[in-house]
């Protein structure tokens, strides 16, 4: 499709530039940037979910631990919405409260379904 809209001179120029590209390696290897990206994603996921798990580690009864975990998750949603509102130049409180409402709805639906 791209070749059909290119003029012959443009097509030849693109063809020559593509021929000048280095050959790809025979085997794909993970480089330092790949490993750093993987560690970054791991830390992001771990640090975002670990506070929600702490009540289950500390408390003996799962029922109250679940409610405390829900409160922690909703508080984290508020702070995330607040920070997003500040960074985008919008109303931080509005975004924070909107995230709390969204989180509360999701927790309510989960509880209604037996969670």
What is the reported pLDDT for 74?
Answer: 92
What is the reported pLDDT for 4?
Answer: 79
> Is there a contact between 101 and 78 (Cβ–Cβ < 8 Å)?
no
Q: What is the pLDDT along the chain (115 residues), one digit of tens a residue?
A: 777 788 888 888 888 999 999 988 888 899 999 999 999 999 999 999 999 999 999 999 998 999 999 999 999 999 999 999 999 999 999 999 999 999 999 889 988 998 7
Task: Look at residue 2 and tell me if it is in a domain.
Answer: no
Work out how many domains the chain is built from and give that number: 1
Task: Look at residue 64 and tell me if it is in a domain.
Answer: yes
Task: Look at residue 15 and tell me if it is in a domain.
Answer: no
Task: Look at residue 21 and tell me if it is in a domain.
Answer: no
Domain residue limits at 72: 29-112
Task: Look at residue 24 and tell me if it is in a domain.
Answer: no
Task: Please report the DSSP string for 16-50 in residue order.
Answer: HHHHHSPPPPSS----HHHHHHHHHHHHHHHHHHH
Helix (H) or strand (E) holding 89: none
Task: Look at residue 18 and tell me if it is in a domain.
Answer: no
Task: Look at residue 9 and tell me if it is in a domain.
Answer: no
Task: Look at residue 92 and tell me if it is in a domain.
Answer: yes
Write down the pTM of the prediction: 0.67
Count how many residues are written for the chain.
115
């Amino acid at each position: 499709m791209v070749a059909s809209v290119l003029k012959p001179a443009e097509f030849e120029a693109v063809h020559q530039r593509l021929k000048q590209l280095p050959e790809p390696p025979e085997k794909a290897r993970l480089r330092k940037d790949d490993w750093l990206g993987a560690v970054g994603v791991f830390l992001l996921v771990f640090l975002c979910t670990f506070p929600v798990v702490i009540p289950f580690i500390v408390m003996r009864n799962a029922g109250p631990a679940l409610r405390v975990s829900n409160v922690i998750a909703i508080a984290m949603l508020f702070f995330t919405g607040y920070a997003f509102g500040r960074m985008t130049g919008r109303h931080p409180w509005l975004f924070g409260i909107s995230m709390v409402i969204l989180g509360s709805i999701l927790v309510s639906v989960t509880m209604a379904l037996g969670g």
